[in-house]
Amino acid sequence: MTAWDRPLNQEERRIVAAAREKAWTLYEGVRTPHRSCGIALAETFSLPSRPYQSLRRGGLTGKGTCGAAMGGRLVLGEVLGDPEPTGAATARLLAAMLYFDAELEKRVDRMRSESWVCDDLTGQFPSFASPERASFCTRLATEVATLTAECLLRAGEMVDVKPIQGLDLDPDAPRPVGPSMPVLPRQARVYREVRFTEHTIPAGLLRAHNTKKGVWARIVVEEGHLRYRIRDGLGGEFLLEPGHLIGIVPPEVIHEVALDGPVVFVVQFCRIDTPPEDED
């Protein structure tokens, strides 16, 4: 077993959780002003953020690589690289970069984007200003910060996640963050709905599946509880309850539901433009 495949110890897991909470808070911009993806990465690890300004929105033009992914790589270079300009790449940095690139592909589902170009990633949503795009990028930046913290620790680097100035984040007692429920586009309209109970739910809904291209869905629980899982690197599990939380299923995203006792729920299939041939 090497440093790159061993389980993290309790203290390391605490540090990773603190980095995750800080990155989420910085990018989400609810409890503190929003930072762009690269700047959120720099501030998470207490690095000067000015050089990371050029990473926002894929190099400002949208044509470059995702600023979060680039920000993670730059953090590793700043911390693990040789400070001498003529020095060779350090063994720690090389190992960290190999691990980072391999894990990034495993942990982050780009959904329908075939590349890491910012315009490709964000172009999946109605507009850059849409809440669903913001939710996607918040989770993406958070996953990259989490992975970056792990890389630094596995490379033997001490990581000190400092609190955000003026905010009561406690790095010694980090809180869980996310996941963030996707947001249904305002122009989506319900064109079909089906009601299920714990006795009539199809087996296919209980295992990983996806809706077709262009099809959104709302999962509305009327009685009881239902667990909804988004099975990708940016997803998570939600407990759906009557009048409290509605599950939103974006097109083509792998997901499933799990029974949590007696339940009555409705799946509402939605479309924005022309109806697709199949919904599920």
Give yes or no: residues 199 and 145 share one domain: no
Tens digits of residue pLDDT in 124-172: 777 888 766 887 899 899 999 999 999 999 999 999 999 998 887 788 8
What integer pLDDT is reported at residue 165 of this predicted model? 87
Residue 197 structure tokens: 């109970």
What integer pLDDT is reported at residue 72 of this predicted model? 97
Q: Exposure string (b/e) for 187-215, b if CB count within 10 Å is 16 or more?
A: ebeeeeeeebeeeebeeebeeeebbeeeb
Give yes or no: residues 51 and 106 share one domain: yes
Give yes or no: residues 100 and 54 share one domain: yes
Tens digits of residue pLDDT in 199-235: 999 999 999 899 999 999 999 999 999 989 887 655 6
CA distance 177 to 75: 22
Residues 188 and 272: beta-carbon distance below 8 Å: yes
What integer pLDDT is reported at residue 234 of this predicted model? 54
- Cis peptide before 179, with omega less than 30 degrees from 0? yes
Comparison of pLDDT for 151 and 188, the residue scoring more = 151
Q: Strands, DSSP E only, in the chain?
A: 189-197, 215-230, 237-240, 247-249, 255-271
Domain count, the chain: 2
Give yes or no: residues 67 and 138 share one domain: yes
Give yes or no: residues 82 and 218 share one domain: no
What integer pLDDT is reported at residue 183 of this predicted model? 76
Give yes or no: residues 98 and 224 share one domain: no
Sign of CA dihedral 63, 66, 69, 75: positive
State the helix-helix crossing angle for 37-44 and 131-154, rounded to 10 degrees: 30
Q: Please compute the mean of the pLDDT values over residues 243-268 and round it to a whole number.
A: 91
Give yes or no: residues 143 and 22 share one domain: yes
Tens digits of residue pLDDT in 32-88: 999 999 999 999 999 999 999 999 999 999 999 999 999 999 999 999 999 888 988
Give yes or no: residues 126 and 196 share one domain: no
What integer pLDDT is reported at residue 108 of this predicted model? 84
Give yes or no: residues 27 and 130 share one domain: yes
Q: Is 278 exposed, middle or buried (0-12, 13-18, 19+ CB in 10 A)?
A: exposed
Sign of CA dihedral 226, 227, 231, 237: positive
What is the domain extent for residue 219?
Answer: 189-271
Which helix (H) or strand (E) segment is 223 a member of? Answer: strand 215-230
Residues 116 and 66: beta-carbon distance below 8 Å: yes
Asked if the model's pLDDT at residue 262 lies above 80, the reply is yes
Residue 98 structure tokens: 């190999």
What is the domain-level CATH number for residue 254?
2.60.120.10
Residue 67 lies in a domain: yes
